[in-house]
Structure 1
């Protein structure tokens, strides 16, 4: 598989958002830092990271019942009155390890901090010119602080390595086209804004699964839940296997090398089983 020729504008355009939802405003980094400080969820290092890594944050669109024709969602846990779409331009000098197609922890942390700073569910595209990084996460009301939101569950994130940015495998044209073709808002659930957001999350998970299986396939909400668990397990096993391989390369005792290699073999078999369920 080769790198993809994709811009943040093309990725956002693929959502086919209604023109009425367009915002087109810049969000000052200072405002993000102030929001984090008021919520008590950021350290001085976090605020410094925002300043150093982010070049510009553009508020692209705000999807509401009035402009999207999709009802809001409210219960005792969360209130989705609006979905925000952001385009975050990172400073040049990629944080991506192009050899393994993995975003660095600092870039992932930047995405998390922006999610925490905004009291709406956010579909966020980050762009450092070497790669695109798509990030989503649910939010809910804080249990002990009225009118404050917290992140709810794991962040769903994936990368798109551009042509010429490295040797990392990403996706072929057919897989990318299938993913882009599944993104438009009119192809997502429209029961309410929560269902819409979850639909985009599930589409992103389908892209993540395609990196493992080689095929892009949208599934039912029930199957998507099982797929997320299988993807999580694949990533956990990948980390364990990588750690054991590093340990094996340094091991001098033959008996211990054999034992580690057997453990790696068992984990690889489990990883294959998890991948088969995708």
Structure 2
């Protein structure tokens, strides 16, 4: 299943009233979202077009805004960024895609459902926002982005189809724009969990979704630790130390299996 931006946007089921469908000048991202010269080069060399697809507001989707001491969600933006084909490959390098997504999220004061499209695959990313601690009027990212490549990160066609259905606007919480956006994030994390379990399963509620988020973080941490221990064990010359590293690896793998049970 090859996803493209129009197909994915259609799967969201956005009402006509929230559609914007306006091209955003690339210079706005260069001026407002590129803190370093390297970031400016990345944007200039890889971004072909930025499209503001939709603005989800209380009066366009019938979902209340959200305010607390950490954040204010008056709207949720849907943006699509088309990337230039690269000379040696059609897909942007993962590190560059991740950095570009971060720059776009940082440049927009509202939470964003962001699509980066390279012609062969699509990267979906989401990130909560909060007030900066030292500057009340400035908005910063709140924790890490939730990001995935489609269709690569789907373990099967069934899982991908289930995710595309789960991401529909009508299936998200409607108590507030924060809850709606969290619903999108939970659907994305369900697909990341399916990559490890082989099966897509939407969370039964906020509590289970929170358990899954923590389990995904633990899986990532433990997989990194397992890789580190394998590398050290392979290089180790002393038998006693090698045994010690392998025992540590076994303990980490047991913990990893337990974390996966929470997905």
Superposition TM-score, scaled by structure 2 size = 0.92
Report the equivalent of 1:106: 96
Tell me if 1:245 matches 2:245. Answer: no
Paired residue for 2:209? Answer: 224
What is the CA distance between 1:76 and its match in structure 2? 3.0
The alignment status of 1:160 with 2:160, answered yes or no, reads no
The answer as to whether partners of 2:50 and 2:82 remain within 8 angstroms in 1 is: yes
Give the structure 2 partner of residue 64 of structure 1.
Answer: 57
Residue 107 of structure 2 corresponds to 117
Q: 2:221 aligns with which of 207, 215, 236?
A: 236
Taking the aligned partners of 1:244 and 1:130, their CA distance within structure 2 comes to: 35
SS in 2 for 1:125: strand
Aligned residue for 1:95, secondary structure, equals coil
- Checking the alignment, whether the CA contact within 8 Å between 1:53 and 1:91 is kept in structure 2 is yes
**Do 2:2 and 2:121's aligned partners in 1 also have CA atoms closer than 8 Å?**
no
Matched, 1:139 2:132: no
1:100 is aligned to none
Deviation at 1:259, TM superposition (A): 2.3
Structure 1 CA distance for aligned equivalents of residues 240 and 136 of structure 2: 59
Unmatched segments (≥5 aa) in structure 1? 97-103, 163-168
User: Partner residue of 1:20?
Assistant: 17
1:128 to 118, 124, 140: 118
Pairwise CA distance, 1:5: 2.3
3-state SS in 2 of match to 1:145: coil
Return the offset for 1:60: 0.7
Q: Could you tell me how far apart the structure 2 residues matched to 1:114 and 1:203 are?
A: 21
The 5 A counterparts of 1:80-95 are 80-92=73-85, 93=89, 94-95=91-92
**Greater CA deviation, 233-242 or 140-149?**
140-149
Report how many residues are paired.
Answer: 258
Gaps of 5+ in 2: none
CA RMSD of aligned residues (A): 1.7
Contact kept in structure 2, 1:130 and 1:161, CA below 8 Å: no
